[in-house]
A and B are shown apart, each in its own frame.
Chain A
Amino acid sequence: MIFKRPEGLTNTPWRYCPGCGHGIVHRLIGEVIDELGIREKTIGIAPVGCSVFMYEYFNCDMIQTAHGRAPAVATGIKRSHPDLICFSYQGDGDLAAIGTAETVHSAARGENFTIIFINNTIYGMTGGQQAPTTMPGQKTTTNPYGRDTRIHGFPIRVCEMLATLDGPVYLERVAVNKPVNVIRAKRAISKAIKLQVDNKGFSLVEILSPCPTGWGLSPKSACEYMDKVMLPYYPLGVFKDLIK
């Protein structure tokens, strides 16, 4: 067999929309769990949002948390049992709106866990409302005329913001809209979790991810939209890497 489901994932069918990026990222994390051989000591943290059901999809111990609180839960887990490997998986509303304090302070403390941050510029599960990362001009169900920065403010660039802190050891923004980016995304996830295994400290990988349903685009044009609109605003790259 040359291609199979990673051990790190269960065989539960995913309930994601066609063209959604969650499935790709789940698969990448599953592969990394296998490659690092950490499945039996990994605790995954499910957020609130479309990916809340990931506790059914990952074949390791899982905990589901309140909206935005995953980094606090991860802190409790890792400080109690530093030998466990802990990653949280959070969307933009979860991480950069309601959970901003938890994100910033766990990064500032340099907690030794990994955040996989999915930025798709929208609240998916609740029906497509404005997120803290929604693009200027982007229409959502809570700003039907498009995000007007004079009224709704500006999107938050999480990696850039966290890079001002001394706590994080590794911050990178990647995307999953085309194969070359997916390969880079996996490399970043692998590096982030490996740093945790080596007790190096806080790591976060921001993954720009398509939400065709929320954006009102076909899966193909959603990926093109990312290149055209999202990437210029959210440039890909490494924003912090203390352990080169």
Chain B
Amino acid sequence: MLEFFNGSKDYLIGSLVISLVVSLIVLIGLMSKMKIKKQAKINLSYMDPDRTEARKIRDVFLYKD
């Protein structure tokens, strides 16, 4: 099988990983379409923009990771 990847073990492993990740993403995407999901940001549409406002008090740094 290595000959399909230019004889390189790194290319083979990398290709397998990429294929696995892409396949899982596609499968998860297809499965998510089978469930009831609420449209994102729908509750924002009920907000009256002329009578809604927010003011900043402060931003506090918590931690880094």
* Chain A bound to chain B: no
Q: Which residues of A line the B interface, CB within 8 A?
A: none
Q: Which residues of B line the A interface, CB within 8 A?
A: none
